[in-house]
């Protein structure tokens, strides 16, 4: 089982060579731009907040935070996240926009905000008797969050290569809006990801949303974890995620207890809802001749295409407290299972040998 909020032994790490090179170039280019547009994925607003952006940008340049894929997120999640972000003690008043980069919703307002944020440059040039120039804006963010799609909407035609997979943009490129009469020059950059994924919960969400390379993770583990994450998020904010769509689409309800294993001599009573792996196995049996890899690929693809409905995997608030609560609940269920097994062993005359603390620690680690 892969518990949500618990680091897996299969650590997710992805830092291709072109990203390392582009990051150095980007940090240098940020010194020469007027405005920074930080793009995040609206489905995972917190997981796509790069930890180094504050240090790169600082307070010297105007910064605009944009959440792409607004069309894939419930309105309640957008409203709650917007309230949360603008009420945080460290909020510095930076404009926040929610856009649909493919259809252009919110892009016109964003363009006006970029021009407004960059006005200081030409006022300064005018005071010095220098002719005005286009506002230079850098568009930065994680891989595959929609930077190139947003730039194409701002430009009004396809100028940046845009595909639904990470790592398509591999170098920095300047793009003018409006040709020779341009008011804005945009710097399109490759997706920049931290060199080390310290927070594996964030790494999991990046993998689910296809914001990190497929070579960095096991699809079956990620798909199983996704089912548990959807269920956990639904229990906390039912308006953020619908679990019914899983039951309707695949004929498997993740809220139900797993069926007893007929191969067990002493069937164990269910102690809670099925695990993500249970769900994936049942889905594979129903639709894919028992092939869990194919089932994992399908449910991940359905999620990424929006076929599981509008949803948000990040919930604003005290995530640390929520994770502690989930771990406590998971440990409690594990303890119940051990107690039941010991009772069954005693009833059938099987000697019970209690493990040492060292064995318990090792066994718990192996179970992560």
pLDDT tens readout for residues 242-290: 999 999 999 999 999 887 666 566 666 666 789 999 999 999 999 999 9
List, for residues 320-342, the tens digit of each pLDDT value: 444 554 455 445 444 444 444 44
Confidence grade of residue 192 (pLDDT, cut at 50, 70, 90): confident
200's tokens: 């594996």
In this predicted model, what pLDDT tens digit does every residue of 113-170 receive, in sequence order?
Answer: 999 999 999 999 999 999 999 999 989 888 888 888 888 888 876 655 444 444 444 4
- Look at the alpha carbons of 108, 140, 241, 253 in this order and tell me if their dihedral is positive or negative: positive
Pick the range with the lowest mean pLDDT from 28-42, 134-148, 347-361: 347-361
Q: At what angle do helices 147-155 and 107-117 cross, to 10 degrees?
A: 80
pLDDT for 361: 42
3-state secondary structure labels for all residues of the chain? CCCCCCCCCCCCCCCCHHHHHHHHHHHHHHHHCCEEEEEEECCCCCCCCCCCHHHHHCCCCCEEEEEECHHHCCHHHHHHHHHHHHHCCCCCCCCEEECECCCCECHHHHHHHHHHHCHHHHHHHHHCCCCCCCEEEEEEECCCCCHHHHHHHHHCCCCCCCCCCCCCCCCCEEEEECHHHCCEEEEECCCCCCCCCCCHHHHHHHHHCCCCCHHHCCHHHHHHHHHHHHHHHHHHCCCCCCCHHHHHHHCCCCCCCCCCCCCCCCCCCCCCCCCHHHHHHHHHHHHCCCCHHHHHHHHHHHHHCCCCCCCCCCCCCCHHHHHHHHHHHHHHHHHHHHHHHHHHHHHCCCCCCCCCHHHHHHHHHHHC
Q: Is the pLDDT of residue 17 over 90?
A: no
Q: Are 22 and 172 in contact (CB under 8 A)?
A: yes
Give the pLDDT confidence score for residue 362 in this predicted structure. Answer: 44
Asked if pLDDT for residue 47 goes beyond 50, the answer is yes
CATH of the domain spanning 17-188, picked from 3.40.470.10, 3.90.650.10, 3.40.50.1100, 3.40.50.300: 3.40.50.300
Confidence of residue 3 (pLDDT cuts 50, 70, 90): very low
Say yes or no to pLDDT of 175 above 60. Answer: yes
Give the phi and the psi of residue 247 in degrees, each rounded to 5.
-65, -40
Q: Domain limits of the chain?
A: 17-188, 218-317, 320-367
- Top pLDDT among 286 and 11 is at 286
Per-residue confidence band for 319, with pLDDT thresholds at 50, 70 and 90: low
Per the structure block, which two tokens stand in for 102? Answer: 């493919």
Average pLDDT in the 39-51 region? Answer: 92
Contacts of 304 (CB under 8 A, 6+ apart): 164, 209, 210
* Nearest CA-CA partner of 193 in 7, 22, 4, 11: 22
Residue 33 has pLDDT above 50, yes or no: yes
Which residues, other chains included, contact 91 with Cβ-Cβ below 8 Å and sequence gap of 6+?
85
pLDDT for res 173 = 80
In the numeric block, the tokens 């009772």 are attached to 343
More reliable by pLDDT, 190 or 290: 290
What is the residue-averaged pLDDT of the chain?
Answer: 78
């Amino acid at each position: 089982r892969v518990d949500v909020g618990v680091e897996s032994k299969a650590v997710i790490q992805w830092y291709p060579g072109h990203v390392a090179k582009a990051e150095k170039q980007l940090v240098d280019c940020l010194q020469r731009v007027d405005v920074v547009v930080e793009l995040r994925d609206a489905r995972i607003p917190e997981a796509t907040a790069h930890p180094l952006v504050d240090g790169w940008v600082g307070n010297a340049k105007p910064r605009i935070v944009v959440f792409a894929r607004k069309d894939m997120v419930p309105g309640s999640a957008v409203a709650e996240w917007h309230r949360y972000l603008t009420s945080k003690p460290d909020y510095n008043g930076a404009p926040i926009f929610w856009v649909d980069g493919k259809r252009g919703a919110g892009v016109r307002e964003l363009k006006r905000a970029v021009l407004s944020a960059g006005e200081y440059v030409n006022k300064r040039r005018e005071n010095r008797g220098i002719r005005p120039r286009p506002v230079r804006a850098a568009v930065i963010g994680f891989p595959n969050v929609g930077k190139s799609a947003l730039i194409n909407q701002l430009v009004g035609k396809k100028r940046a290569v845009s595909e639904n997979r990470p790592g398509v943009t591999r170098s920095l490129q300047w793009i003018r809006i409006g040709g020779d009469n341009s008011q804005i020059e945009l710097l399109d950059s490759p997706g920049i990801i931290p060199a080390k994924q310290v927070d594996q919960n964030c790494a999991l969400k990046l993998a689910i949303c296809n914001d990190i390379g497929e070579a960095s993770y096991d699809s079956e583990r990620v798909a199983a974890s996704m089912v548990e994450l959807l269920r956990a998020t639904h229990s906390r904010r039912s308006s953020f995620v619908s679990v019914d769509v899983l039951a309707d689409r695949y004929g498997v309800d993740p809220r139900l207890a797993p069926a007893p294993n007929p191969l067990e001599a002493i069937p164990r009573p269910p102690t809670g809802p099925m695990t993500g792996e249970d769900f994936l196995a049942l889905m594979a049996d129903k639709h894919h001749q028992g092939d869990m890899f194919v089932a994992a690929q399908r449910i991940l693809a359905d999620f990424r295409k929006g076929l599981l409905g509008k949803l948000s995997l990040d919930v604003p608030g005290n995530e640390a407290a929520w994770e502690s609560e989930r771990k406590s609940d998971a440990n409690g269920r594990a303890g119940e299972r051990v107690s039941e097994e010991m009772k069954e062993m005693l009833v059938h005359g099987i000697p019970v040998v209690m493990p040492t603390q060292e064995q318990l620690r090792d066994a718990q680690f192996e179970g992560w």
